[in-house]
Amino acid sequence: MTTLLHLIGSPRGALSASTAVATTYIDARLQAEPTIVVDRLDVWKEDLPHFGIDAISAKYSGITGTPLTAEQQNAWDTLSPLVDRIIRADELVISVPMWNFGIPYRLKHFIDLVTQKDYLFRFDETGFSGMATGKALVIATRGTNYATGTDTPESEFDYQKAYMLTWLKFIGITDVRTITLEQLLFGTEAEAASIAAGKAAAIELAAI
């Protein structure tokens, strides 16, 4: 049975373009494969733990092989349920808006929590290796145009989609597809056209 994890990066709910396109993709996948188990993780509704002194100390103790204190172990144990949802997933769908050329801070918080040694990656003297498997779809939405030749070319201003692709590669997921929606702040007609194109692309990808 296939498990699909939808990682929701926008707080806008039904008004979110990225969430709407992701939902279209998931609905199309379910129509083709009704037994898919969909796990939705909304970073704005999830009670994400604080990564404070005990958690960061546990992180470095794990790297150096130092035994954890009870407080450090408790802090570290709060991370594993979140990591498990990624490890269990056969497919990861990430809907992520661009905020100030990057990703929303709650999504970054989630990534910082789960991207830990022996949870999502390993390393030794030969380098790093990811521990996640499966495939992913990144749905990235942006307010303006990031094409080459504009005032905001993607090569200089994209710390959103590029970051997500780098993170997925680092944790071991290399079968990654993307849908990018732009010009969402160029008026209702441009927004509607971009969302419609994104949904059409989502339906097409769901059939592959």
Binding-site residue set for FMN = 10, 16-18, 98-101
- d(Cα 96, Cα 73) in Å, to the nearest integer? 32
Instruction: Map tokens 């279209």 to a residue.
Output: 24
Residue 196 main-chain phi, psi, to 5 deg: -60, -45
Beta bridge partners, 38, equal: 4
CB distance 171 to 92 below 8 Å? no
Rounded distance, CA 206 to CA 31, Å? 10
Annotated binding residues: 10, 16-18, 98-101
* 141 DSSP β-pair partners: 97, 181
CA–CA separation, 181 vs 145, rounded Å?
9
**70-77 and 53-64 helices cross at what angle (nearest 10)?**
100
What single string gives the DSSP state of each residue in 144-158? S---TTSSS-HHHH-
